[in-house]
């Protein structure tokens, strides 16, 4: 897809449309000097070079990648109109696109009926779900696993809802036995399960959590901000993971971020509710915005007011071209998943690297292997992981960008019983392989990381003097 062409086409089409309303004079107040613009623009472009190369497969760090060209072209074409999806008055065309894409997301999640809308982020989507949870289960708290995204505790604090943390198993998934013990006390009216944790990509066993929560009358919210799109490829994940992904359909609410795995620029999350009747919790009146339609406006079912109509248009265009099917967007995720599985195999076979845990989705966690056959010391693992991270990103030639995740001594020894515990926490390396290009670049990436890990071994004693 030739981005330059489609960007130009969007600008031209906007100007053609604008002309149909007749000519009008531009005001001098917003006029800028072309020469000054050239200078400022060049400065901007130079400063943008201070970013990391998220677009390149040598960037195998955090959950970051550029949007698809279709999303960029769709966003720019719609941004020229700058519609506001809080109401049909502000975004008559893009609100309808939003309803269409939300319908597609709900279908992917397996919801037969739904109420939902796009949000500016996954955090906002989770906040709305937690708000509805508080309103439907007043006086109760929320259960989240210790691996849940940090914003749940923050949003619960904001809502005045107590948080109860549930331990995880040796793969970072919510411990269902511990959850049951908590639910039996009656303090938690809502369980937040994570479908793809941010650190490890672990999928909480929703298929076991949902029936358990039902027995205790608790709601279930799935934070599928990262992993929700993996529902498109249930056959290339472990059966246990596939069961959990299928159970998204039975949750009371789901948060899912098109700006994570949906190829969108930032500013695109989504929240879905299985019971359309929760609209009652959002009810409010606006003296000046809702006048063009008797249909509910998106602002009447969301906590945010102004929201980008362009975000809806960008997602709409992207899903026209890469629909939410195994062969559409699913093929994009499948490549990253294959890369993660294959890399875990290479890491397992390397004398210089050890796996931390097998990837459940497309996030690979690993660390430098201790020299020789000595058991890993936690302090050494943390130092060596940081060394690999820093030497990789600061390399003059062939840089490689990874990330680290902090893990507790308990979590580490749950995976490596022979580890020497000489500190309370350590760090392991973490690579989110969310770009399909990672699959084609994998051998090169592995070779670089292996080389960096080898360099963290102490130099062998020299012979002679």
Cβ distance to ligand PLP smaller for residue 124 or 456: 124
Q: Does 333 bind ligand PLP (CB under 6 A)?
A: no
Distance between CA atoms of residues 325 and 365, nearest Å: 28
Is-contact 241 360, C-beta < 8 A? yes
Cβ distance to ligand PLP smaller for residue 257 or 360: 257
Q: Does 151 bind ligand PLP (CB under 6 A)?
A: yes
HEC-encoded secondary structure of 374-407: CCCEHHHHHHHHHHHHHHHHHCCCCCCECEEEEE
**Checking DSSP bridges between strand 188-194 and strand 163-166, what pairing results, if any?**
unpaired
Cβ distance to ligand PLP smaller for residue 116 or 269: 269
Interface positions, 252-311, toward ligand PLP (CB under 6 A): 257, 260, 269
Interface positions, 65-124, toward ligand PLP (CB under 6 A): 121-123
Out of 71, 225, 263, 344, the only residue in the binding site for ligand PLP (CB under 6 A) is 225
Q: Does 223 bind ligand PLP (CB under 6 A)?
A: yes
Cβ distance to ligand PLP smaller for residue 221 or 448: 221
Distance between CA atoms of residues 166 and 141, nearest Å: 13
Cβ distance to ligand PLP smaller for residue 51 or 185: 51
- Half-sphere exposure of 84 toward its Cβ, with a 13 Å CA cutoff? 10
Distance between CA atoms of residues 400 and 55, nearest Å: 12
What is the smallest separation between the CB atom of 26 and ligand PLP, expressed in angstroms?
A: 37
Distance between CA atoms of residues 59 and 300, nearest Å: 41
What are the tokens at 262?
């949906």
Coil, strand, or helix at residue 190? strand
Letters for 176-195 (x = contact with ligand PLP by CB under 6 A, - = none) are ------------------x-
Q: Virtual CA dihedral for 216, 222, 228, 231, nearest 10 degrees?
A: 10
Cβ distance to ligand PLP smaller for residue 121 or 431: 121
What is the smallest separation between the CB atom of 187 and ligand PLP, expressed in angstroms?
A: 23
Q: How far is CA 272 from the centre of its chain?
A: 16
What is the smallest separation between the CB atom of 122 and ligand PLP, expressed in angstroms?
A: 3
| Part in contact with ligand PLP (CB under 6 A); list of ranges 103-111, 171-179, 219-227, 291-299 | 219-227
Cβ distance to ligand PLP smaller for residue 268 or 353: 268
- CA of 6: how far to CAs of 70, 265, 322, 385, in Å? 8, 17, 17, 43
Contacts with ligand PLP by CB under 6 A lie at 121-123, 149, 151, 194, 198, 223, 225-226, 257, 260, 269
């Amino acid at each position: 897809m030739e981005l330059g062409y489609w960007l130009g086409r969007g600008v031209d089409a906007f100007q053609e449309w604008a002309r149909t309303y007749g000519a009008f004079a531009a005001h001098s107040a917003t006029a800028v000097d072309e020469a000054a613009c050239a200078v400022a623009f060049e400065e901007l472009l130079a400063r943008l070079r201070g970013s990391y190369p998220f677009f390149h497969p040598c960037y195998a760090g955090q959950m970051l990648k550029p949007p698809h060209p279709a999303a960029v072209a769709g966003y720019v074409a719609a941004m020229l109109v700058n519609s506001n999806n809080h109401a049909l008055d502000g975004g008559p065309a893009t609100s309808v696109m939003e309803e269409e894409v939300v319908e597609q997301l709900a279908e992917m999640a397996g919801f037969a009926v739904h109420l939902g809308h796009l949000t500016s982020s996954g955090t906002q989507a989770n906040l709305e779900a937690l708000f509805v949870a508080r309103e439907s289960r007043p006086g109760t708290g929320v259960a989240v696993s210790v691996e849940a995204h940090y914003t749940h505790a923050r949003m619960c604090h904001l809502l005045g809802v107590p948080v109860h943390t549930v331990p995880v198993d040796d793969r970072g998934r919510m411990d269902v036995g511990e959850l049951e013990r908590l639910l039996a006390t009656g303090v938690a009216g809502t369980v937040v399960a994570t479908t793809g944790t941010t650190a490890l990509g672990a999928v909480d066993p929703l298929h076991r959590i949902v029936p358990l929560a039902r027995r205790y009358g608790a709601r279930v919210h799935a934070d599928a901000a990262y992993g929700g799109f993996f529902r498109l490829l249930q056959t290339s994940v472990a059966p246990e993971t596939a069961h959990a992904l299928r159970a998204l359909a039975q949750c009371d609410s789901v948060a899912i971020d098109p700006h994570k795995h949906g190829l969108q620029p930032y500013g695109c999350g989504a929240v879905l509710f299985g019971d359309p009747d929760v609209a009652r919790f959002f009810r409010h009146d606006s003296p000046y915005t809702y006048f063009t339609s008797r249909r509910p406006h998106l602002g009447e079912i969301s906590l945010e007011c102004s929201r980008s109509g362009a975000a809806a248009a960008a997602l709409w265009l992207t899903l026209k071209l890469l629909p939410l099917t195994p062969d559409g967007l699913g093929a994009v995720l499948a490549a990253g998943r294959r890369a993660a599985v294959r890399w875990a195999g290479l890491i397992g076979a390397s004398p210089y690297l050890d796996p931390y845990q097998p990837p459940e989705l497309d996030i690979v966690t690993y660390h430098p292997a201790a020299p020789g056959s000595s058991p890993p010391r936690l302090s050494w693992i943390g130092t060596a992981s940081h060394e690999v991270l820093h030497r990789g990103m600061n390399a003059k030639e062939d840089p490689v960008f990874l990330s680290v995740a902090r893990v507790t001594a308990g979590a580490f020894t749950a995976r490596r019983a022979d580890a020497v515990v000489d500190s309370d926490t350590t760090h392991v390396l973490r690579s989110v392989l969310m770009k399909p290009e990672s699959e084609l670049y994998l051998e090169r990436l592995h070779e670089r990381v292996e080389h960096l890990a080898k360099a963290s071994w102490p130099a062998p004693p020299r012979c002679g003097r």
